[in-house]
Amino acid sequence: MVARSAPHRLVAVSYLNTKPLLYGLLRSPISDTLAMDLAIPSECARQLVEGEADIALVPVAVLPELPYYEIISDYCIGADGAVATVCVYGDVPLEEMTHVYLDHHSRTSVMLTRLLLEEYWQHEVTFLDAEDGYIDHINGSIGGLVIGDRTIGLDKRFQYVYDLGAAWKDHTGLPFVFAAWVTTKKLPKSFIADFNAALKEGLDHLPQLQLLLPSPSPDFDLTDYFTHHIDYILDQGKRRGMDRFLDYVAAALVV
């Protein structure tokens, strides 16, 4: 009998924006070599850092903490301008906010909020740690960063909405990478090629995927979100945006 090698342990973000990539992996024979799991971004990061996963879609802010890593894909969770699902919300304009909750699901956008408040909005606030239910405590002069599917509908609930993808683009002229596919292992080139081909397949079949997905809200246009807000291609521009952002993260680690 031929011994089958142990599957690669893969963890990916549990939000809607990852479904096209997962759809591609699940349509591909490569899925037979993967033990797949889903988690919120901060948990994906923890699993990769602590060696519980071999391949993960991780918030890029965690990369400086990894002793060895390789970005194994030409696809990512990125944006070139407004992303729609990473925003600071509040009852008052940003310049009147005294406190800002930082979403505990996030690693990247937490740092992006700090960077933009410091460099772009140039407004000092006290940051608050979030926990489940914190969105109900965003009120008065207390704003909050919220990421992912929980943002859907919040634009109706809060008068002020600041899209961090749009603010980053305005500040730097660059696109942004929220999460990338990373491994901490040495993986065969053929596996990486198959992995990328599978992700591309998913992105090439968005209409089919949308037959499977429930609409998150009547006012939320999934096609628009997948094609005009999330930008999945990890190209040179996104790499430049990521380098610029990671310089800030690395400097913050030293302080």
Q: Which residues bind ligand ISJ (CB under 6 A)?
A: 13, 15, 17, 41, 59, 77, 83, 85-86, 106-109, 147-148, 178-179
Query: Shortest approach of ligand ISJ to residue 61 CB, angstroms?
Result: 6
DSSP-derived letter for residue 139 is B
* 143/148 with CB nearer ligand ISJ: 148
Least CB distance to ligand ISJ at residue 5 (A): 29
Task: State the minimum distance, in angstroms, from the CB of residue 57 to ligand ISJ.
Answer: 7
As a whole number of angstroms, the distance between CA 8 and CA 6 comes to: 7
CB atoms under 10 Å from CB of 52, counted, come to 13
Residue with smaller CB distance to ligand ISJ, 8 or 107: 107
Nearest to 230 by CA among 194, 196, 206: 206
Q: What is the phi-psi region of residue 150: left when phi exceeds 0, alpha when psi lies from -120 to 50, beta otherwise?
A: alpha
Q: Residue 242 Cβ, how far from ligand ISJ at the closest point, in Å?
A: 13
Residue 246 Cβ vs ligand ISJ, minimum distance, rounded to whole Å = 13
- Smallest gap from residue 108 Cβ to ligand ISJ (A): 4
Q: What are the DSSP E strand ranges found in the chain?
A: 8-13, 34-39, 55-59, 70-79, 86-90, 99-102, 126-129, 142-147, 160-163, 176-183, 231-233
Q: Smaller CB distance to ligand ISJ: residue 165 or 190?
A: 165
How far is the C-alpha of 219 from the C-alpha of 198, rounded, in Å? 31
User: Do residues 59 and 42 touch, judged by C-beta distance below 8 A?
Assistant: yes
- Report in angstroms how near the CB of residue 248 gets to ligand ISJ at its nearest: 14
Closer CB to ligand ISJ, 7 or 228, in the complex: 228
Of the pair 14, 184, the CB lying nearest ligand ISJ is at: 14
Q: Which residue lies nearer to ligand ISJ by CB, 105 or 200?
A: 105
In sequence order, what are the residues at sequence separation of 6 or more whose Cβ sits closer than 8 angstroms to the Cβ of residue 143? 88, 89, 90, 92, 94, 97, 99, 100, 101, 125, 160
148 class by beta-carbon count within 10 Å (0-12 exposed, 13-18 middle, 19+ buried): buried
Q: Is there a contact between 81 and 169 (Cβ–Cβ < 8 Å)?
A: yes
Nearer of residues 13 and 34 to ligand ISJ, judged by Cβ: 13
Among the listed residues 79, 113, 87, the one whose alpha carbon sits nearest the alpha carbon of residue 224: 79
